Structure 1
Amino acid sequence: MQGLLERTPGARHALVLSRDGLKLCRTPELSVDQADQLAAIAAGIQSLSHGASAEFGDGSGGVRSAMAEFYGGILFIVEAGEGAHLAVIAAEDADAGLVGHTMAELVEQLGEHLRAAPRADGGPHTLPAS
Structure 2
Amino acid sequence: MRTSHPDLAWLLENLLERTPQTRYALVLSKDGLKLSHTYGLTVDRADQLAAIASGIQSLSHGASIEFGDGTGGLRQSMTEFHGGLLFIVEAGEGAHLAVVATEDADPGIIGHNMNELVEQIGEYLTAPPRAPQQSNRPL
TM-score range, shorter chain: over 0.9
Matched residue, 2:62? 51
Q: Deviations over 1:61-117 (max 9, x none)?
A: 011000100001000000000000000000000000000000001101112111101
Matched residue, 1:67? 78
Please give the alpha-carbon distance, in whole angstroms, between the structure 1 residues aligned to 2:122 and 2:33: 19
Matched residue, 2:44? 33
- For the residue of structure 2 that corresponds to 1:108, the secondary structure is helix
Please give the alpha-carbon distance, in whole angstroms, between the structure 1 residues aligned to 2:110 and 2:86: 10
Alignment of 1:89-100 (within 5 A): 89-100=100-111
Please give the alpha-carbon distance, in whole angstroms, between the structure 2 residues aligned to 1:82 and 1:118: 9
Gaps of 5+ in 2: 1-11
Matched residue, 2:114? 103
- For the residue of structure 2 that corresponds to 1:103, the secondary structure is helix
Please give the alpha-carbon distance, in whole angstroms, between the structure 2 residues aligned to 1:111 and 1:55: 28
Residue identity over aligned pairs, in percent, reads 70
Normalising to structure 2: TM-score of the pair? 0.87
- For the residue of structure 2 that corresponds to 1:89, the secondary structure is strand
Matched residue, 1:9? 20
Normalising to structure 1: TM-score of the pair? 0.93
User: Residue 88 of structure 1 is aligned with which of 99, 119, 138?
Assistant: 99
Residues 1:78 and 2:58 are matched in the alignment: no
Two-structure CA RMSD over aligned residues (Å): 1.6
- For the residue of structure 2 that corresponds to 1:15, the secondary structure is strand
Residues 1:116 and 2:124 are matched in the alignment: no
Please give the alpha-carbon distance, in whole angstroms, between the structure 1 residues aligned to 2:73 and 2:56: 13
Please give the alpha-carbon distance, in whole angstroms, between the structure 1 residues aligned to 2:129 and 2:51: 15
User: Residue 20 of structure 1 is aligned with which of 31, 44, 54?
Assistant: 31
Q: CA deviation at 1:119?
A: 1.1
Please give the alpha-carbon distance, in whole angstroms, between the structure 2 residues aligned to 1:99 and 1:85: 15
